[in-house]
Structure 1
Amino acid sequence: MVKHGLDPAQLTRGERMDTSALRERREASDRFLDIATPQLDQLFRLVGLSGCSVFLTDAKGLVLDQRCGDGDESAFREWGLWEGADWSEGAEGTNGIGTCLAEERHLIIHRDEHFFARNAGMSCIDAPIFGADGQVIGALDVSSARADQTEGFNKLIAASVLQTARQIEADAFRAAFPRARFILADAEDGPLVKLLAVDSDDIVVGATRGARRAFGLAPSGPIERRPATDLLGRDESEPTGFERGERAAVIRALSRADGNVSRAAQALGIGRATIYRRMKRLGIGERDA
């Protein structure tokens, strides 16, 4: 790789970060790790018995956390894919983690597609994780040490990796706006999480990477505060995915409140007058509950 001055035949591996420095990097990402932990556990329960290990990195490709079976530990340690290791493209050339972060997309790097010949025994399935500000905060990796790992099996695992990365991203977004109400687009609408965070005045205060792209907002950083209805297109003849999600949320709240509008408004964290306005805009009658 000319860009990074790497030799594909190089046998030596980069040194792992020492324990003290790794602890500092983990502490800097402690909130991210807390949110991701249950999802990593769940994903490993799904793929661990097939010889796969699960890794979570920060935005620079440093491995922060992992789940690995006892029988596979020696293989991954030998490859250098372990906590404290740098798997950015600058360190390892083309590889699942580094290339996923560099290109900001989910991908599969199968065996000899790796840049270094010494990594050709691995199959790596990766997906980026975006933070509440729209920037990449890490990568989720599932790598296999099995020589019989097929490309077809990789594709099956890839769906679970992407779904888990999206769930971590959604959980991190919700945690970033603890007092907000959230509007969700259709779950099957593309590979990115599409969530809007809306305050009690129906002003959009946050948007995931997918929502930013869908509504033409700034790809990263703070977003311009604007009424949710300005983004949701209330004058369109057909409701958007967000409108369908909002309508479903209001109807659920009314149902749980046995049709009591005041209780439904309280459950949604909005005023009684606000919920009546939304019901009128969304075509919801009290009997719809």
Structure 2
Amino acid sequence: REPVVVRQQDHFFGAYTSLTCSAVPIFDPDKPCRPDVLADRLLEKRRERAADLIECAKLEMTTLFQQFSDRESAVVLVDTDGVILHMVAAPEFAGAMREVGFCTGAVWSESAVGTNGMGTCLVAREPVVVRQQDHFFGAYTSLTCSAVPIFDPDGELVAALDVTSRSQLMQQHSLVLLGMTAQMIENRLLDRRFRDACPIHFHSRPEFVYTLHEGKLVVAEDGSIRGANRSALFQLGFPSVDDIRGKQIDQVFQTTLPDILQRSARSSFHPIPTFCAGRSNRFFVVAQQPATLSLKSTERGGKSVSASHVGGEAARQFGDPRILSQMGVAARVIAKRIPVLLHGETGAGKEVFARALHESSPYASGALVAVNCASLPESLIE
């Protein structure tokens, strides 16, 4: 008989603790269990097929690991078969976990090793917490796992992102951070697939545009919608991406793509108001040119960024020579991969300056990720 997954609502974390009740006699929880580990050749083939996913996830996983600051933990990405494709962990912890088969190439599907964060998340297709004694096999009861699913631009499950820790106390914000990281990865996958389309950022509240809360549509030159992130589907009331794909932008908003592009440029890419088609719901939107255009501009201008180049690009947005001079200095600093801190009163134009600086930098082909600190839970700020 197939294993039965029983879920108990965890109201504190807003996730699920999963317990697997299995009538399969070959699963004895008291016997040692070590996951199979793929040969290097087979693992490399899987990693090649998932190259875009891994590329979009690597930086976010490293950042997540640093946020946890837990040397007794690992951040893990598994494919839909439960195979670990990429892992970020302290060397000591990684070495110790390798002894129980927790390593790159290991198969952690629920059918292979029973209830565990990664495998059970793939079955449930939703956030899962598997605490120590909830693991099916006794060998893993020292671990606590939190995992969230990752979906591709078609809405298909492509991976699970997991944090596994030996710490006695599970961090209360682990699922919040995991969820945010999964959103970032999904948005990167959307941007990567539709680099030749115009991204449209929107939200019902202007301060949430350019944050993780924003909805994002990718729109072809003819105005047809090619993709959307989960926030966009939720805000616009579409059950799935298939329900919105192919629609014209003026079937969703009371405007056209050329109009949004023109108004966005005139507003220096500050959110502009529009209304939902056929309804009175107001949204604030920003449209940008395709990333491929920015990439071509960067290639034509070379890899280095000069003050004169930045000045020419920014002159259409800023007329003040002092601002252009400051932007030239900031551009040279960013080209050396040095962080830049902008400070000023509310309304001074810090966000506009930052966006213009990004668009003129060597990294313009990538997305500018803005984090609204005011929307972070207090536990994360600490």
TM over 0.5: yes
Q: Contact between 2:128 and 2:146, CA under 8 Å: does it hold in 1?
A: yes
**Is the contact between residue 170 and residue 193 of structure 1 (CA under 8 Å) also seen in structure 2?**
no
TM-score (norm 1): 0.75
* Pairing 1:245–2:285 present: yes
Shift in alpha-carbon separation, 1:106–1:227, aligned structure 2, 3 A: same
Give the structure 1 partner of residue 279 of structure 2: 236
Aligned to 1:76: 97
CA gap 1:24/1:45 in 2 versus in 1, 3 angstroms:
same
Secondary structure of 1:79 counterpart:
coil
Deviation at 1:258, TM superposition (A): 3.4
Q: CA deviation at 1:166?
A: 0.9
Q: How does 1:111-260 map to 2 (within 5 A)?
A: 111-146=132-167, 148=168, 150-151=169-170, 153=171, 155-186=172-203, 194-212=215-233, 215=236, 217=238, 219=240, 224-232=245-253, 233-239=276-282, 243-246=283-286, 257-258=316-317
Please name the residue that 1:281 is paired with.
none
Question: How has the CA–CA distance of structure 1 residues 222 and 63 changed in structure 2, closer, same or farther, with 3 Å as cutoff?
Answer: farther
In the alignment, structure 1 segments of 5+ residues that lack a partner are 261-266, 268-289
Q: Is the 8 A contact 2:94 2:103 kept in 1?
A: no
Residues in 1 aligned to 2:315 and 2:241: alpha-carbon distance in whole angstroms: 37
Give the distance between the partners of 2:112 and 2:235, measured in 1 at CA: 34
Please say if 1:26 is aligned against 2:26.
no
Instruction: Give CA deviations for 1:187-221 in whole Å, capped at 9, x if unaligned.
Output: 69xx9984321122322111234544555657466
Give the structure with the higher percent helix. Answer: 1
Instruction: Summarize deviations over 1:133-154 as a string: whole Å, max 9, x none.
Output: 11011111111123x2x14x2x
Tell me the distance in 1 between the aligned counterparts of 2:99 and 2:231.
Answer: 37
SS in 1 for 2:146: strand
- Rounded to whole Å, the distance in 1 between the matches of 2:87 and 2:242 is 29
Query: What residue ranges of structure 2 are gaps of 5+ in the alignment?
Result: 1-20, 254-275, 290-313, 320-355, 357-382
In structure 1, how many angstroms separate the alpha carbons of the residues matched to 2:112 and 2:179?
Answer: 24
Counterpart in 2 of 1:2? 22
For 1:135 and 1:256, locate their aligned partners in 2 and report how far apart those are by CA, in whole Å: 43
Indicate if the aligned counterparts of 2:79 and 2:85 stay in contact, CA closer than 8 A. yes
Contact 1:192 1:209 in 2 (8 A): no
1:241-289 deviations in Å (ceiling 9; x for gaps):
xx31338x79xxxx984399xxxxxx9xxxxxxxxxxxxxxxxxxxxxx
The number of aligned residues is 247
SS at match of 2:106: coil
Q: What secondary structure is seen at the aligned counterpart in 1 of 2:252?
A: helix
Does the CA-based 8 Å contact 1:41-1:67 persist in structure 2?
Answer: yes
**Which entry has the higher C-alpha Rg, 1 or 2?**
2
Residue 86 of structure 1, CA deviation:
0.9
Matched residue SS, 2:123? helix
Task: Report the CA distance between 1:223 and its aligned residue.
Answer: 5.9
- Following TM superposition, by how much is the alpha carbon of 1:178 offset from its aligned partner in structure 2, in angstroms? 0.6
For 1:36 and 1:193, how far apart are their aligned partners in 2?
20
Distance change in 2, residues 1:85/1:222 (3 Å): farther
- One-letter amino acid of the counterpart of residue 317, structure 2: D
Equivalent pair of 1:52/1:145 in contact (CA under 8 Å): yes
Please give the alpha-carbon distance, in whole angstroms, between the structure 2 residues aligned to 1:193 and 1:75. Answer: 40
Q: CA deviation at 1:12?
A: 2.4
Q: Retained in 2: the 8 A contact 1:48–1:69?
A: no
| Local SS of the residue matching 2:284 | helix
2:71 and 2:85 map into 1 onto residues whose CA distance is 22
TM-score under structure 2 length normalisation: 0.58
Corresponding residue of 1:15: 36
The answer (yes or no) to whether the contact 1:63–1:83 under 8 Å persists in 2 is yes
